[in-house]
């Protein structure tokens, strides 16, 4: 079992040692012994860069791709080898895949006729789904008459209409502009919670994953680098790859100089014993998040440095400062400061002031 996952015995969906290679023995290893589990009603995000295997894994769960090895269970049934129509899931693709020649109502009803529904029951289900996604009254429109966000809602209603036990989302909002995407991801998350449908979503957008997921599985090179809650992934990354992929971070190359100290350039930095104890003896990389950097710390605080602001970025509720620190030549530090506190610090290019890298905020990686 891999880091952060729940026990398969308590899972609604369990993926066990799934592997997939494209192009034969010398081809591309898309998945390499992946195991993960998703609890009933949980939303799990598969997050990672292009080519990491996340979409391949989703397609294998859906039965759209065949695994070379491994097994998949959902709701107490083994899905391995079953065709897609026997797996009881709804799926929402990146392109929405709506039929342009069918009305909204006909698109939503597309998956229903084979389930033994009469026309009255089917029409009632379509109206129920459209009301659920906020599109009641749009039954007779065609996809071309709708905005991108509305088309996404229609595709979601179609995926949910058969009341599937599992919902699969493949980059469902990547085609939308930022403002619509932010609004719809909140709507989708609230709807998923209300319906309590177990959901697996593929995304390369870390902000989307952090905002929507109960748990995130970060993938790299066909494997799961770490699985855990958004807080666990961000605050306690299992590797340098995870720390780099999730959020902004300051990276300092150094070497152990004592039991709980590391030398970076001309500076010796203290690290919390818990983190230092797990660090390797050879060259290391220290990581510190921008919001953890202390600005104008009290005299006597550990890891104090004199620094000057060289540039800044306005981010709405906060500023991100670029700092050049004495005794750390060639290294730019990033630090976040709340907008209402920015006036307490000097302007870019003016005099130096003290900053500190708190020992408990420094993480050490090989």
Q: How far apart are CA 320 and CA 215, in angstroms?
A: 27
Lookup result for tokens 């009301």: 131
Looking at the structure, give the CATH architecture of the domain made up of residues 8-243. Answer: 3-Layer(aba) Sandwich (3.40)
Single pTM value for the model: 0.89
Answer positive or negative: Cα dihedral of 2, 4, 10, 13.
negative
* C-alpha closest to that of 60 among 42, 79, 76: 79
Exposed / middle / buried, residue 10 (Cβ in 10 Å: 0-12, 13-18, 19+): exposed
Sheet strands side by side (includes 28-38): 28-38, 13-22, 69-74, 77-78
* C-alpha closest to that of 336 among 307, 314, 306, 303: 314
Q: Where in the chain is the domain with CATH 3.40.50.300?
A: 8-243
Q: Where in the chain is the domain with CATH 2.40.50.100?
A: 249-365
Exposed / middle / buried, residue 123 (Cβ in 10 Å: 0-12, 13-18, 19+): middle
Write down the pLDDT at residue 275: 80
Q: What's the pLDDT band for 259 if we cut at 50, 70, 90?
A: confident
pLDDT tens per residue, range 184-210: 888 899 999 999 999 999 999 999 999
Q: How far apart are CA 55 and CA 20, in angstroms?
A: 12
Q: How far apart are CA 149 and CA 129, in angstroms?
A: 16
* C-alpha closest to that of 278 among 317, 246, 315, 238: 238
pLDDT tens per residue, range 308-353: 999 999 999 999 999 999 989 889 999 999 999 999 999 999 999 9
Phi, psi of 187, deg, nearest 5: -60, -45
Lookup result for tokens 């195991």: 35
pLDDT tens per residue, range 76-112: 999 999 999 999 999 998 887 899 999 999 999 987 8
Q: Which residue has the higher pLDDT, 183 or 43?
A: 43
Lookup result for tokens 């023995």: 25
Which letter does DSSP use for residue 352 in this model? -
Q: At what angle do helices 119-132 and 148-160 cross, to 10 degrees?
A: 130
pLDDT tens per residue, range 234-256: 999 999 999 999 989 999 998 88
Write down the pLDDT at residue 4: 40
Q: How far apart are CA 84 and CA 322, in angstroms?
A: 51
Give CA torsion, residues 44, 45, 47, 53, to 10 deg.
Answer: 70
Looking at the structure, give the CATH architecture of the domain made up of residues 249-365. Answer: Beta Barrel (2.40)
């Amino acid at each position: 079992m891999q880091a952060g996952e729940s026990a398969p015995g308590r899972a609604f969906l369990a993926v066990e040692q799934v592997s997939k290679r494209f192009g034969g023995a010398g081809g591309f290893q898309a998945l390499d012994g992946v195991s993960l589990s998703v609890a009933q009603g949980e939303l799990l995000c598969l997050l990672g860069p292009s080519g990491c295997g996340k979409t391949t894994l989703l397609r294998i769960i859906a039965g759209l791709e065949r695994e070379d090895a491994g097994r998949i269970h959902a709701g107490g049934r083994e899905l391995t080898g079953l065709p897609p129509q026997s797996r009881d899931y709804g799926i929402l693709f990146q392109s929405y895949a709506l039929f342009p020649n069918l009305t909204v109502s006909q698109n939503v009803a597309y998956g229903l006729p084979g389930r033994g529904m009469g026309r009255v029951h089917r029409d009632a289900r379509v109206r129920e789904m459209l009301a659920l996604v906020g599109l009641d009254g749009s039954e007779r429109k065609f996809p071309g008459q709708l905005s991108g966000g509305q088309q996404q809602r229609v595709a979601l209603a179609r995926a949910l209409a058969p009341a599937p036990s599992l919902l699969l989302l493949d980059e469902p909002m990547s085609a939308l502009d930022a403002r619509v995407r932010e609004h719809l991801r909140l709507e989708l998350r609230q709807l998923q919670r209300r319906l309590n449908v177990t959901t697996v979503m593929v995304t390369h957008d870390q902000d989307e994953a952090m905002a929507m997921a109960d748990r995130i599985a970060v993938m790299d090179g066909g494997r799961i680098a770490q699985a855990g809650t958004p807080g666990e992934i961000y605050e306690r990354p299992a590797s340098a790859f995870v720390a780099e992929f999730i959020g902004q971070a300051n990276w300092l190359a150094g070497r152990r100089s004592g039991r709980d100290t590391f030398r970076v350039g001309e500076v010796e930095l203290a690290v919390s014993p818990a983190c230092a104890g797990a660090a390797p003896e050879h060259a290391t990389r220290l990581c510190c998040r921008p919001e953890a950097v202390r600005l104008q710390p009290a005299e006597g605080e550990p890891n104090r440095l004199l620094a000057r602001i060289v540039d800044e970025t306005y981010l709405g509720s906060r500023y991100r400062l670029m700092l050049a620190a004495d005794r750390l030549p060639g290294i730019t530090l990033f630090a976040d400061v709340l907008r209402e506190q920015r006036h307490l610090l000097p302007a870019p290019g003016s005099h130096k002031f003290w900053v500190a890298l708190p020992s408990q905020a420094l993480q050490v990686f090989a």
